Amino acid sequence: MDKHGQNAQNVVSMSDYQSDSGFAIIAQIEAYWEALRGGNLLPKRSEVDPRGIEAALEYAFILERIAPGIARMRIAGSHLNELMGMEVRGMPLTAMFAPNARRQIADGLEDVFQTPATASLRLTSPGGVRRVTLDARMVLLPLKSDLGDVSRALGCLVSRGDIGTAPRRFDLIEQEVRPLVPGQTVARVDLPVGPVVRPAPHDQMPGFRAPKAPFKGKEGKVPPPYLRLVKSDK
Protein backbone atom coordinates (compact mmCIF):
# COMPACT_ATOMS: atom_id res chain seq x y z
CA MET A 1 0.00 0.00 0.00
CA ASP A 2 1.21 3.53 -0.67
CA LYS A 3 0.79 6.53 1.63
CA HIS A 4 -2.66 7.25 0.13
CA GLY A 5 -3.92 3.77 0.90
CA GLN A 6 -3.86 2.69 -2.77
CA ASN A 7 -2.49 -0.62 -3.96
CA ALA A 8 0.67 0.41 -5.78
CA GLN A 9 0.30 -2.45 -8.25
CA ASN A 10 -3.01 -1.02 -9.47
CA VAL A 11 -1.75 2.51 -10.16
CA VAL A 12 -0.40 3.44 -13.57
CA SER A 13 1.84 6.53 -13.70
CA MET A 14 1.38 8.88 -16.63
CA SER A 15 3.72 11.37 -18.30
CA ASP A 16 2.93 15.05 -18.66
CA TYR A 17 0.54 16.10 -21.40
CA GLN A 18 -0.55 19.48 -22.81
CA SER A 19 -3.83 20.47 -24.45
CA ASP A 20 -4.59 20.49 -28.18
CA SER A 21 -6.51 23.46 -29.60
CA GLY A 22 -8.01 24.23 -26.18
CA PHE A 23 -9.89 20.94 -25.82
CA ALA A 24 -8.01 19.85 -22.72
CA ILE A 25 -10.75 17.50 -21.50
CA ILE A 26 -10.41 15.40 -24.66
CA ALA A 27 -6.71 15.08 -23.85
CA GLN A 28 -7.48 13.81 -20.36
CA ILE A 29 -9.79 11.09 -21.64
CA GLU A 30 -7.33 9.96 -24.32
CA ALA A 31 -4.42 9.87 -21.88
CA TYR A 32 -6.45 7.96 -19.28
CA TRP A 33 -7.54 5.36 -21.85
CA GLU A 34 -3.96 4.99 -23.10
CA ALA A 35 -2.71 4.39 -19.55
CA LEU A 36 -5.36 1.74 -18.94
CA ARG A 37 -4.51 0.12 -22.25
CA GLY A 38 -0.80 -0.16 -21.48
CA GLY A 39 0.80 -2.52 -23.97
CA ASN A 40 -2.45 -4.35 -24.72
CA LEU A 41 -4.74 -3.84 -27.66
CA LEU A 42 -7.67 -2.60 -25.53
CA PRO A 43 -8.55 -1.90 -21.90
CA LYS A 44 -11.58 -3.51 -20.27
CA ARG A 45 -14.80 -1.69 -19.42
CA SER A 46 -14.45 -2.90 -15.82
CA GLU A 47 -11.13 -1.02 -15.53
CA VAL A 48 -12.70 2.39 -16.16
CA ASP A 49 -12.93 4.22 -12.83
CA PRO A 50 -14.44 7.73 -12.67
CA ARG A 51 -11.82 8.74 -10.11
CA GLY A 52 -9.24 8.68 -12.90
CA ILE A 53 -11.20 11.20 -15.01
CA GLU A 54 -12.95 13.17 -12.28
CA ALA A 55 -12.41 16.55 -13.99
CA ALA A 56 -13.86 15.20 -17.25
CA LEU A 57 -16.91 13.31 -15.98
CA GLU A 58 -19.50 15.84 -17.17
CA TYR A 59 -18.20 15.45 -20.75
CA ALA A 60 -17.65 11.67 -20.70
CA PHE A 61 -19.93 8.84 -21.74
CA ILE A 62 -19.98 5.07 -22.17
CA LEU A 63 -21.45 3.52 -25.33
CA GLU A 64 -22.83 0.03 -25.85
CA ARG A 65 -23.04 -1.42 -29.36
CA ILE A 66 -26.51 -2.94 -29.80
CA ALA A 67 -26.60 -3.43 -33.59
CA PRO A 68 -24.43 -2.64 -36.63
CA GLY A 69 -23.88 1.12 -36.69
CA ILE A 70 -25.98 1.67 -33.55
CA ALA A 71 -24.60 2.37 -30.09
CA ARG A 72 -26.63 3.70 -27.19
CA MET A 73 -25.56 5.82 -24.24
CA ARG A 74 -25.22 3.62 -21.17
CA ILE A 75 -23.85 6.49 -19.09
CA ALA A 76 -23.55 10.18 -20.01
CA GLY A 77 -22.25 13.31 -18.32
CA SER A 78 -24.27 16.44 -17.66
CA HIS A 79 -22.75 18.38 -20.58
CA LEU A 80 -24.41 16.00 -23.05
CA ASN A 81 -27.76 16.39 -21.25
CA GLU A 82 -27.43 20.17 -21.47
CA LEU A 83 -26.67 20.06 -25.19
CA MET A 84 -29.81 18.01 -25.87
CA GLY A 85 -32.00 19.62 -23.21
CA MET A 86 -32.95 16.17 -21.89
CA GLU A 87 -31.59 12.99 -20.36
CA VAL A 88 -29.56 11.27 -23.08
CA ARG A 89 -28.94 7.99 -21.30
CA GLY A 90 -30.44 5.20 -23.39
CA MET A 91 -30.44 7.28 -26.59
CA PRO A 92 -28.41 6.31 -29.68
CA LEU A 93 -25.30 8.39 -30.23
CA THR A 94 -26.59 9.40 -33.68
CA ALA A 95 -29.46 11.30 -32.00
CA MET A 96 -26.93 14.04 -31.22
CA PHE A 97 -26.22 14.58 -34.92
CA ALA A 98 -28.03 16.21 -37.80
CA PRO A 99 -29.71 13.69 -40.15
CA ASN A 100 -27.20 14.23 -42.96
CA ALA A 101 -24.31 13.21 -40.66
CA ARG A 102 -25.81 10.08 -39.14
CA ARG A 103 -24.71 7.61 -41.81
CA GLN A 104 -21.09 8.69 -41.49
CA ILE A 105 -21.32 8.47 -37.70
CA ALA A 106 -22.79 4.96 -37.97
CA ASP A 107 -19.96 3.89 -40.29
CA GLY A 108 -17.40 5.33 -37.88
CA LEU A 109 -18.96 3.43 -34.99
CA GLU A 110 -18.58 0.17 -36.89
CA ASP A 111 -14.89 0.94 -37.46
CA VAL A 112 -14.44 1.62 -33.73
CA PHE A 113 -16.02 -1.66 -32.64
CA GLN A 114 -15.16 -4.06 -35.45
CA THR A 115 -11.60 -3.09 -36.42
CA PRO A 116 -11.14 -2.02 -33.51
CA ALA A 117 -10.07 1.61 -33.87
CA THR A 118 -10.24 5.00 -32.23
CA ALA A 119 -12.18 7.87 -33.79
CA SER A 120 -11.64 11.60 -33.42
CA LEU A 121 -14.39 13.87 -34.72
CA ARG A 122 -14.48 17.60 -35.43
CA LEU A 123 -18.02 18.93 -35.17
CA THR A 124 -20.06 22.09 -35.47
CA SER A 125 -23.57 23.09 -34.46
CA PRO A 126 -24.86 25.98 -36.61
CA GLY A 127 -26.03 29.18 -34.98
CA GLY A 128 -29.48 30.71 -35.29
CA VAL A 129 -32.10 32.49 -33.22
CA ARG A 130 -30.87 32.60 -29.62
CA ARG A 131 -27.99 30.37 -30.63
CA VAL A 132 -24.31 30.85 -31.38
CA THR A 133 -22.30 28.47 -33.52
CA LEU A 134 -20.71 25.75 -31.40
CA ASP A 135 -17.31 24.27 -32.17
CA ALA A 136 -16.96 20.76 -30.73
CA ARG A 137 -14.70 17.74 -30.55
CA MET A 138 -15.55 14.12 -29.83
CA VAL A 139 -13.39 11.08 -29.25
CA LEU A 140 -14.48 7.42 -29.24
CA LEU A 141 -12.19 4.85 -27.61
CA PRO A 142 -13.13 1.15 -27.75
CA LEU A 143 -13.32 -1.10 -24.69
CA LYS A 144 -13.74 -4.80 -24.10
CA SER A 145 -16.89 -5.87 -22.29
CA ASP A 146 -16.91 -8.32 -19.39
CA LEU A 147 -17.57 -11.03 -22.01
CA GLY A 148 -14.38 -10.13 -23.88
CA ASP A 149 -16.03 -8.72 -27.01
CA VAL A 150 -15.46 -5.16 -28.27
CA SER A 151 -18.94 -3.77 -27.67
CA ARG A 152 -18.27 -0.81 -25.36
CA ALA A 153 -16.56 2.53 -25.92
CA LEU A 154 -15.40 5.36 -23.70
CA GLY A 155 -16.28 8.68 -25.29
CA CYS A 156 -15.95 12.39 -24.66
CA LEU A 157 -17.78 15.33 -26.23
CA VAL A 158 -16.69 18.90 -25.55
CA SER A 159 -18.29 21.98 -27.12
CA ARG A 160 -17.15 25.61 -26.94
CA GLY A 161 -19.66 28.43 -26.81
CA ASP A 162 -22.95 29.23 -25.10
CA ILE A 163 -25.34 26.32 -25.61
CA GLY A 164 -28.40 28.57 -25.80
CA THR A 165 -31.67 26.92 -26.83
CA ALA A 166 -31.50 23.12 -26.77
CA PRO A 167 -31.38 20.68 -28.40
CA ARG A 168 -28.08 21.31 -30.17
CA ARG A 169 -27.30 18.73 -32.84
CA PHE A 170 -24.04 18.56 -34.70
CA ASP A 171 -22.78 18.41 -38.27
CA LEU A 172 -19.66 16.37 -38.99
CA ILE A 173 -16.72 18.34 -40.35
CA GLU A 174 -14.08 15.64 -40.17
CA GLN A 175 -13.73 12.12 -38.79
CA GLU A 176 -10.35 10.50 -38.24
CA VAL A 177 -10.22 6.72 -37.68
CA ARG A 178 -7.07 5.02 -36.43
CA PRO A 179 -6.95 1.20 -36.18
CA LEU A 180 -5.24 -0.14 -33.08
CA VAL A 181 -2.03 -2.11 -32.87
CA PRO A 182 -0.80 -3.60 -29.54
CA GLY A 183 1.86 -1.40 -27.98
CA GLN A 184 1.33 1.48 -30.41
CA THR A 185 0.23 4.72 -28.80
CA VAL A 186 -2.60 6.57 -30.55
CA ALA A 187 -3.12 9.55 -28.20
CA ARG A 188 -1.55 12.61 -29.82
CA VAL A 189 -2.10 15.23 -27.08
CA ASP A 190 -0.31 16.10 -23.86
CA LEU A 191 -1.88 17.16 -20.58
CA PRO A 192 -0.88 16.79 -16.91
CA VAL A 193 -3.18 14.33 -15.19
CA GLY A 194 -3.00 12.26 -12.03
CA PRO A 195 -2.35 8.55 -11.63
CA VAL A 196 -4.74 6.11 -13.22
CA VAL A 197 -6.45 3.72 -10.81
CA ARG A 198 -7.24 0.19 -11.93
CA PRO A 199 -10.12 -0.85 -9.64
CA ALA A 200 -11.72 -4.20 -9.10
CA PRO A 201 -15.26 -4.15 -10.59
CA HIS A 202 -16.88 -3.79 -7.15
CA ASP A 203 -14.75 -0.73 -6.40
CA GLN A 204 -16.37 1.51 -9.01
CA MET A 205 -18.25 4.62 -7.99
CA PRO A 206 -22.08 4.61 -8.10
CA GLY A 207 -23.48 5.95 -11.36
CA PHE A 208 -20.59 4.79 -13.52
CA ARG A 209 -21.37 1.10 -13.40
CA ALA A 210 -23.64 -0.44 -16.03
CA PRO A 211 -25.23 -3.92 -15.95
CA LYS A 212 -23.96 -6.64 -18.22
CA ALA A 213 -25.63 -6.81 -21.61
CA PRO A 214 -26.42 -10.07 -23.42
CA PHE A 215 -25.19 -8.72 -26.78
CA LYS A 216 -21.90 -10.14 -28.01
CA GLY A 217 -20.42 -8.49 -31.09
CA LYS A 218 -18.17 -10.01 -33.74
CA GLU A 219 -14.54 -9.18 -33.09
CA GLY A 220 -12.58 -8.70 -36.31
CA LYS A 221 -8.89 -9.11 -37.06
CA VAL A 222 -6.52 -6.21 -36.53
CA PRO A 223 -5.38 -4.85 -39.93
CA PRO A 224 -2.12 -2.99 -40.57
CA PRO A 225 -2.22 0.60 -39.28
CA TYR A 226 -3.63 3.22 -41.58
CA LEU A 227 -5.15 6.68 -41.33
CA ARG A 228 -8.50 7.50 -42.85
CA LEU A 229 -10.02 10.95 -43.04
CA VAL A 230 -13.71 11.19 -43.78
CA LYS A 231 -14.95 14.68 -44.61
CA SER A 232 -18.52 15.75 -44.93
CA ASP A 233 -19.90 17.06 -48.24
CA LYS A 234 -20.78 20.39 -46.66
Tens-binned pLDDT, residue by residue, of the chain (234 aa): 444 444 333 333 333 333 444 589 999 999 999 999 988 999 999 999 999 999 999 999 999 999 999 999 999 999 999 999 999 999 999 999 999 999 999 999 999 999 999 999 999 999 988 899 999 999 999 999 989 999 999 999 999 999 999 999 999 999 999 999 876 676 443 333 334 443 433 344 444 544 444 444 445 444 444 344 455 555
Provide the pLDDT for residue 30.
Answer: 96
Count, residues in the chain: 234
Closest CA to 142 of 170, 177, 90: 177
CA distance 16 to 18: 7
pLDDT of residue 191: 34
Is the pTM of the predicted complex or chain greater than 0.85?
no
Going from the C-alpha of 224 to that of each of 100, 116, 118, 180, the distances in angstroms are 31, 11, 14, 9
